[in-house]
Structure 1
Amino acid sequence: MGIDYYGVLSIQRNSNELAIRKAYRNLALEFNPERLQDDNAEKIFAFIGEAYEVLSDPLRRAVYDQYGEEGLKRGVSGLDGYISAYHYHGDPMRTYKDFFGTASPYADLLDYLKDPPLMYELPDIRGIKKKQPPIYHTLWLSLHEIFFGGVKKMKIRRLQYIGTDCTLTELKENILSIPIKPGIRPNTEIIFPEEGDQNPVHIPADIIFVTKDKEHECFTRENDNLIMHVEISLEEALLGTTVTVDTIDHRVVRVPITDVVYPGYKKMVENEGMPILENPENKGNLIIEFRISFPQYIPQSSKGVFQKAFHLVKIGGGFHHEMINKMILADKIMRVDPCEQLPPP
């Protein structure tokens, strides 16, 4: 069993944000170590701070409600990618200061929120309001989304002013439309200015989405190029083959491999990679890397054929594929049982 954060704050599971803040305010004041002077106060104070940090954040609360403390602290897969594990920073006084705006054990922020002073009475408003630090979100993109570009919709929840009253707020959902340019590169920051929580004391934070590439079943992205791994047999490595590529833009490209495939060999197909961000009409390259599957057993008679073939290659100074094919075919014919051979025409 993990920590019951609702139990720590003594609230119902369907409690709203105000109830969560009220519960934390009462408990944080009661168990502030500087005020209580109790041996267990620091441990309880830390549990209260951790519970508040989880339940006051919509994403953390949603993960906790569905997967519990274990899922929250292990990390889970979400609809838009992997949700990173959460770990409390371990400084409950930092949480206390962020909430009350002071380290005083006698702070009383709830009355301030219920009956805020006029705008001109706020000390921070007399000068320049401070802007909240930016809020970062990971934006997972598939190679298909990166190839074609478009618009991605993301839902966020934030505190917004109620009507024209710039002192009262309520939690609302907003849909952000995120433009995705073809060929957009990993770790690109897409900024939505001042889309964070609104409050009369601070300028809302910027919401920043940082792009990451999702894994693809066939391709790996490297700058504007696509890397593809193909496994072929030793016969195909020596005699040639054709690699069939199902491209991201739903085409089938057949790439003939006529060279000898040796360890480290790569086949580059031009203009079959990802769109180049600065000029999407142009594309990077597709690079095919090979893994050669060697046979586990070769009969002695076949080894002799190979020895003759490689000997002829050395003599001829090159790789005569047709000659090797004919020798292998002749060897197969010679090893057919006489009774199984076709009668002469």
Structure 2
Amino acid sequence: MSKDYYAILGVDRDATPEAIKKAYRRRAMKVHPDVAQDDDAADQFKELGEAYEVLSDPNKRAIFDRGGDPHQGAGFSGFGGGFAGGFDFTNLVDAMFGAAGSRGPRSRVRQGQDALVRINLALHEAVFGTTKPVKVDTAVVCPKCMGQGGEPGSEPVTCSTCDGAGEVSQIQRSFLGDIRTSQACPTCRGYGTIIPRPCGECSGEGRVRASRTLQVRIPAGVSTGIRIHLESQGEVGPGGGPAGDLYVELNVLAHETFRREGDNLEVVVKLPMTAAALGTTIDVATLESEWDKSDVEDRKVAVEVPAGTQSGTRIALKGRGVPRLRGGGRGDLGVTLLVQTPTKLDDRQRELLRQLAEERDESAPEAVAAKGGRGVFGKLSEWFS
């Protein structure tokens, strides 16, 4: 085995079950992620739970002491005595379904389940990254019994029904001979021990529900549906067992001005008809204007509008879009210009436009259908939809 479970718990190889249990409790109080400040506290606690799960189980411990893999079982030892002399029906069933040998008492310490929480992000938080406080409601190690399940100072006692075996057997006679069947002990539920004084805080479960707040780092460039994986921050298992993992699923909220298209950001800017005809320079606010950590000079950008610009023209600003989550660089900021026709004119303005129309021979224009593509209206309809 690559891991020395005795060294992890800090006990000798001939340590008694009581010494192993006390060593686990002592170490768990030091390395639990809710107590320890070390960066690898979660890994240490998970490794500690794995070591205790093996060494607290007599069968797994025996396999480990022989140099085998305690997670793979001890192997099938075959039948004894033949049909006429009787046989172990449990071994027959185990052989058929891939189990191995006697099950023995099962450990109270088991792996916890994974947990999932969902959080909303503003667009600028998803684009530039942030650290969000995330409230998590999961099972944690009972602070009173530290996962042992009993009142402080009490110890589990051997079950008198199964004598600590965790299972009881029945022998029935049949034409095949004596058939022995085994099942989990109904008194101790297969644990081999009974907790005479269950912990009043967790009712013997070794864990309680609690709310806590984690500071979750969100990388720049994330999108809806991405999950952040936090190892050993999920549900603590029964008996104070190793915690599962926590997954934080992200949902990016829609923005009232900017729209995201992959690694690009898109924005529509209204432009007066005269500015579009004559050409101009406009200042366009970028998404950085909503991010308090951005440089002031990045919060707006000057855009050159050529003379004669048509409504629906898109100007791409390189490197002003979304940072690429995998890989360097950023996408573009697409600025689509919407040329506005004036609706309220005074007499002088109306006369000037009439003179312009006559000068350009546009007093009675003929409508000409545009050819090919979606055209301006097709493009703009996507934005307003």
Greater RCO, 1 or 2 (C-alpha within 8 Å, sep 6+)? 2
Q: Give the helix-richer structure, 1 or 2.
A: 1
Rg comparison, structure with higher value: 2
Query: Structure 1 length as normaliser, TM-score?
Result: 0.46
